[in-house]
Structure 1
């Protein structure tokens, strides 16, 4: 077993720390997807001299490759999992249901994608693959009759009604916080030209971004040569092409393999965006997004970007979900029609698509930072800092420029 680190927690912590008496908050990162969402919320808290933040990555024998490297790249204090399980924290920040029953301290649970209610009709877990699942199910939110989150952050008022049907005993813990990721992306539209410059998009060129979730039914799963086809079909003097892949594509296959699969496109100028280095900014910078049923495509639609669906998820998508709304209001990719007219069709549909999808993603537009900060400080039993909670600009894009 790994040794414990000599950090700011434990019976003799007062002999080590420089800032004493801090409340301790831990960020639980079982997946890169959860980690990227929690990094949106953490700046609301971590600058406070009264609070010590730290990270932990569950190690239970079924972890995801690369997650610990991702967390350590954030340069925060990383507690070994077995040490975190032996401490009671003043706040636990989570964006995944995994391992919540093992942790000690009040849990603030957020969604890790667009919407708290999943767009997929079924769980990805092998034991429940044929059972309808929403993400607000009793088996996820409770353990032996105990409600796990002290605060369950929901994105919309409609999700409160869904929770009432699926796990009514958790209603007193529910709080509609909105969507901090979308708030930050909308705020960052003001920096669109800066992001385009950082991506190397000259004035007059258009950026087409391929957005893929994970699984065999995703864009990359079904159309692995789509980026290559776009590079061939679109004049490079007028178009640039980017690709944004779900973090689990990178964690399951590994960065080396993913970049190798895209090697020919990278040589031709494809902008391949790592999952932690600017996917939000790339969506802000895009002129047209060709995607699937994943959250990234939904965020692009909510931003007002023209969206064309290359893959719509079929019967695996829950009727009325965010992904279902996107496919009902966005045109599908056609192989018998030139690309330019299809971009025009997507552009004409973009305003209505944005209104519908934005309303499905958040019922508290522009308010997530304020609502989340208030909830965190209530759990910490501390008064909020002076001044309003601010919505940040998203991180600048940093596409891969090497092949391996």
Structure 2
């Protein structure tokens, strides 16, 4: 079978109603899957294409990625099936598994752009050990969010520069597109009055805010006044590694005290759009929130090497650090003062150098790799979906919280 014949293989062709080029969504983990979800609306209405999914055998995720794909009613190929087909296009949110499949590859970052962090000396996402194999570049197109990343790529892996396309950040573009729907996002979080919303977001790893302080959510809820709704957004890897039941057990005290928790693997962007304030460790969600114009107060964490000049590093340099020994509200006010100048616009300019253009640029890049003409019908940039809260299984009277 080739990329013009369908999705699964010659043996299955006689079952097909439509024959066309296959688009393989290669998702080794939930985070990559979530980022690739932003690209699929640019292709999904094209009758010449059939999307299929696969999880690389060397993926490190738990079964939740496969479970989510199947729950959506998608076609999930085994790694062996995916390797037997030459696909019309491979969409990848990670380098994992690229050497095991055939077809032109579009590689996108699965966080706030490439070149955000250092892992030892290599620059995460742009290092030749990640982008190269046996003297060749592993992806046909490497999507960058900013021209600054292209300069960085030229320094650390010049062989990959001809494969790079500066597309901007479609995740940030969709966040911005949701701003007019803020009231709907607030209602989805259960806030229909004039209460303010504080979103608390943490990344994974023992260095993270949750990693160093398992009681961080309870401390924040107890410090918040009654008229401030606190909503937690946890990195997908936390749910994947430890399991929903265990994580909710760890959060039970905070939930009893009034914490709302975004459902595992649900989209965080609607909650950030609804938020009046955000507390964040070094997760890229904090930078996205700041770029949207939302005041950000930083959660203490163990040292994480950030690349100077990256959005997360700039955020860390210019926003206050939460001190749990001091009242919370004055610290949120200080975060608002830090945001009142040009900080938000500056961080937004670091997140993307093609604001509002990512969908158009990415669509062209994908159809170029498919060797197909773009459909005449334009695809509007859609806002992020409504946030979903976990329903509390047991209703208890909330613990009293001090007014600060």
Q: Give yes or no for TM over 0.5.
A: yes
Structure 2 residue aligned with 1:12: 11
Counterpart selection for 2:74 from 51, 73, 76: 76
Structure 2 residue aligned with 1:389: 379
Structure 2 residue aligned with 1:209: 199
Q: In structure 2, how many angstroms separate the alpha carbons of the residues matched to 1:143 and 1:258?
A: 38
Is this contact kept in 2: 1:115–1:360, CA < 8 A? no
Residue by residue over 1:190-233, the C-alpha shift from the partner in whole angstroms, topping out at 9 and shown as x without a partner, is 11100101110132111111110001111111222222122222
Equivalent position SS for 1:76? coil
- My pick for the range that moved more, 212-221 or 319-328, is 319-328
Residue by residue over 1:134-169, the C-alpha shift from the partner in whole angstroms, topping out at 9 and shown as x without a partner, is 311111111101211111100000111111011111
Is this contact kept in 2: 1:244–1:273, CA < 8 A? yes
1:172 and 2:162 correspond: yes
Equivalent position SS for 1:196? helix
Unaligned runs of 5+ in 2: 1-5, 395-404
> Which portions of structure 1, spanning 4 or more consecutive aligned residues, are displaced by more than 6 angstroms?
none
Equivalent position SS for 1:244? strand
Q: In structure 2, how many angstroms separate the alpha carbons of the residues matched to 1:104 and 1:180?
A: 26
1:376 and 2:366 correspond: yes
| 1:65 CA drift (Å) | 4.2
1:182 and 2:182 correspond: no
Structure 2 residue aligned with 1:299: 288
Unaligned runs of 5+ in 1: 1-6, 123-129
- My pick for the range that moved more, 362-371 or 305-314, is 305-314
Is this contact kept in 1: 2:104–2:139, CA < 8 A? yes
Equivalent position SS for 1:314? coil
- How many residue pairs align between the two structures? 388
Equivalent position SS for 2:178? helix
- Closer/same/farther in 2, CA of residues 36 and 365 from structure 1, 3 Å limit: same
Q: In structure 2, how many angstroms separate the alpha carbons of the residues matched to 1:386 and 1:135?
A: 34
Counterpart selection for 2:262 from 246, 249, 273: 273
Task: Please provide the CA RMSD for this pair.
Answer: 1.7
- Closer/same/farther in 2, CA of residues 313 and 158 from structure 1, 3 Å limit: farther
Counterpart selection for 1:60 from 54, 58, 61: 58
Structure 1 residue aligned with 2:401: none
Matches within 5 A, 1:96-245: 96-119=94-117, 121-122=118-119, 130-236=120-226, 238-245=227-234
Normalising by the residue count of structure 1, what TM-score does the alignment of the two structures yield? 0.92
